Amino acid sequence: MDHRQPFEYLDNNTFSFACHPGLSCFTECCRDLRLALTPYDILRLKNKLGVNSGDFLDQYTTVKPGEHNGFPAVLLKMGEDEVRPCPCVTPSGCRIYEDRPGACRIYPIGRASSRTQGQEQAREFHFVVKEPHCQGFNEPEQWTVEHWALDQGLKPYSFFNDEWTGIITHKGSPGSEEAISRKMQMFFMACYDLDQFRRFVFESTFLRRFDIPEEIIKRMKTDDEELLKLSLLWLKFSLFGEKGLPLRPE
């Protein structure tokens, strides 16, 4: 695989692209990848595959400590044969297509976002990533970035990924040397092992310490997205002392 990343600016915010089984490159891009999963990717993948987050992490991923500015990264584990196929690829395409990771959805667009502290909304930048083997650029369909994002169902990915990026690029320090190892375990559980985080919320003193509205507590029992919102707020509170999660007065 050619690992060069030929980035190109978007011309008038539009690009030509289509991906379909009729192309000779079909599924060529689903191999030998270094695909870092975000918390929202894992939420969607484990639910699609019908496993809990702990089993998903064991079976499908490799952990790389320290890779996200000191925080651990989780990579989708490629197959071990020569072409190193993605575990989700089949001859007829992606078997988890509706829940594929954000990086697979957004291709061929690259997205960067930046948010300064105190700024409500992240600023977005887009560019085209023209992989040399990809024939999709020769297809006539025209897209704008906005239309592509809508078509690929990127909205919830952008929301959760921006919240999470705010944590892994946070300027604050997670604390003393002694605290770091414990905080990395907290980070791992809250970001990647959501079913374990749910047990932590409901089986520890968590709900006696934090003032969470009853309605949200009820939803978090079964709604993973609601739980992930809480886990990211809790991390900002625990790692950097942000005030988004109110403590009970007592």
What SS3 string covers the chain? CCCCCCEECCECCEEECCCCCCCCCCCCCCECCCCEECHHHHHHHHHHHCCCHHHHHHHHEEEEEEEECCEEEEEECCCCCCCCECCCEECCEECCHHHCCHHHHHCCEEEEEECCCCCCCCEEEEEEECCCCCHHHHCCCEEEHHHHHHHCCCHHHHHHHHHHHHHHCCCCCCCCHHHHHHHHHHHHHHHHCHHHHHHHHHHCCHHHHECCCHHHHHHHCCCHHHHHHHHHHHHHHHHHCCCCCCECCC
The residue assigned the tokens 């900002």 is: 236
Least separation in angstroms between residue 133's CB and ligand SF4 is 6
Size of the site for ligand SF4 (CB under 6 A): 21
Nearer to ligand SF4, 48 or 170 (CB): 48
86 binds ligand SF4 (CB under 6 A): yes
Among 10, 16, 28, 110, binds ligand SF4 (CB under 6 A): 28
Which of 20, 147 has the CB closer to ligand SF4? 20
Closer to ligand SF4 by Cβ: residue 20 or 199? 20
Least Å distance, CB 1 to ligand SF4, is 11
Among 44, 100, 126, 198, binds ligand SF4 (CB under 6 A): 100
Position among 29, 167, 201, 228 found at the interface with ligand SF4 (CB under 6 A): 29
16 binds ligand SF4 (CB under 6 A): no
Question: What type of residue is 178?
Answer: E
Question: Where in 190-229 is the site for ligand SF4 (CB under 6 A)?
Answer: none
Residue 22's contacts (CB-CB under 8 Å, 6 or more residues apart) are none
User: Smaller CB distance to ligand SF4: residue 161 or 238?
Assistant: 161
Could you give the string, one character per residue 117-146, with x where binding to ligand SF4 holds by CB under 6 A and - elsewhere?
Answer: ----------------xxxx----------
Q: Give the nearer residue to ligand SF4 in terms of CB position, either 26 or 240.
A: 26
Q: Which is nearer to ligand SF4, 70 or 93 (CB)?
A: 93
Contacts with ligand SF4 by CB under 6 A lie at 19, 23, 25-30, 33, 86, 88-89, 94, 100-101, 104, 107, 133-136
